[in-house]
């Protein structure tokens, strides 16, 4: 399979917080980009810079050498790939399908199997790194699928991220992403809880962060989310509602495998509370607000 270089037309479906920045990086790298998203206004910046609008997923897939999807929920992925006028029925044989949404491993395997029967190579390639990683091309990309398809997509992945690992067969990328979310919750909770403690102790949170961010407690959450909390910035690098979706996927997958994941049970309780409070569209660092509210009672 030939590598997907910037002479190849690329389709991109889903231009949310992450997807818009990822598509932008491909456009900057010289790729011909055809885009579609449910809210057309989100494509305006890309269209002004030379991307082409497609009215639906079918129009994206029919005219692309590779199609990247970055969607919100498993039902969105299912609709875009399997629905009427979806990617699977519209893509020309040989088109490389890359789903970068965090979704059910079983759904990724189903896409791979259906795509294989249509001579469409497919990869699941969820990412970690948030909005900053997407803008700066510093995502970690966790890939499931065939080695040949991975090799063809590697040039695309190198534009989007600094670490890209083929984890195994279809669905493996999704399972690794769930590992990432399990570990990520622990560090996010730790960062939020530490800052809440520091504030109540009358400490300077910036100085606290300067010390603990350089020690054994250092983490991505302390480096990236804690400064936002200190500034009072709770806007999304990653939505609460999307993280809650990932938590539920991890619990679902863990239960099926017999894995004990008490951290995810706590995460579900805390982030479901945030969503009930109307903060589903805030960033995951809004967990700090929940802790502060609980501490004030």
Which of 74, 71, 37 has the alpha carbon at shortest distance from 57? Answer: 37
Catalytic site includes residue 248:
no
Which of 58, 113, 121 lies closest to 93, judged by CA?
121
Angstrom CA distances, 217 to 208, 223, 228, 264, stand at: 12, 11, 18, 20
> 42, 177, 282, 297: which one is catalytic?
177
Q: Are 192 and 169 in contact (CB under 8 A)?
A: no
SS (H, E, C) the chain: CCCCCCCCCEEEECCCHHHHHHHHHHHHCCCCEEEECCCHHHHHHHHHCCCEECCCHHHHHHCCCEEEECCCCHHHHHHHHHCCCCHHHHCCCCCEEEECCCCCHHHHHHHHHHHHHCCCCEEECCEECHHHHHHHCCEEEEEEECHHHHHHHHHHHHHHEEEEEEEECCCHHHHHHHHHHHHHHHHHHHHHHHHHHHHHCCCCHHHHHHHHCCCCCCCHHHHHCHHHHHHCCCCCCCEHHHHHHHHHHHHHHHHHHCCCCHHHHHHHHHHHHHHHCCCCCCEHHHHHHHHHHHHCC
Catalytic residue set: 177
């Amino acid at each position: 399979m030939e590598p997907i270089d910037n002479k190849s037309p690329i389709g991109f479906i889903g231009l949310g917080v992450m997807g818009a920045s990822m598509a932008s990086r491909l456009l900057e790298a010289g790729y011909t980009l055809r885009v579609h998203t449910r809210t057309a206004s989100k494509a305006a910046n890309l269209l002004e810079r030379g991307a082409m609008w497609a009215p639906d997923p079918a129009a994206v897939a029919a005219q692309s050498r590779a199609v990247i999807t970055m969607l919100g929920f498993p039902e969105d992925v299912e609709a875009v790939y399997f629905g009427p006028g979806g990617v699977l029925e519209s893509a020309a044989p040989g088109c490389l399908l890359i789903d970068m949404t965090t979704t059910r491993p079983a759904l990724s395997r189903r896409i791979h199997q259906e795509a294989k029967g249509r001579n469409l190579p497919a990869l699941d390639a969820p990412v970690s790194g948030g909005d900053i990683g997407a803008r700066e091309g510093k995502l970690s990309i966790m890939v499931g699928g065939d080695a040949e398809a991975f090799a063809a997509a590697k040039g695309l992945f190198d534009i989007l991220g600094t670490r890209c690992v083929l984890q195994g067969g279809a669905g493996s990328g999704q399972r690794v992403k769930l590992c990432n979310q399990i570990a990520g919750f622990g560090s996010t909770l730790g960062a939020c809880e530490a800052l809440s403690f520091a504030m109540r102790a009358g400490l300077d949170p910036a100085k606290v962060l300067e010390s603990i961010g350089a020690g054994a407690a250092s983490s991505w959450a302390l480096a990236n989310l804690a400064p936002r909390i200190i500034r009072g910035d709770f806007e999304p690098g990653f939505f609460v509602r999307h993280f809650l979706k990932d938590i539920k996927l991890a619990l679902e997958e863990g239960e099926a495998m017999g894995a004990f994941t008490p951290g995810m049970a706590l995460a579900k309780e805390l982030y479901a509370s945030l969503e009930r409070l109307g903060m589903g569209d805030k960033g995951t660092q809004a967990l700090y607000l929940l802790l502060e509210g609980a501490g004030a009672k």
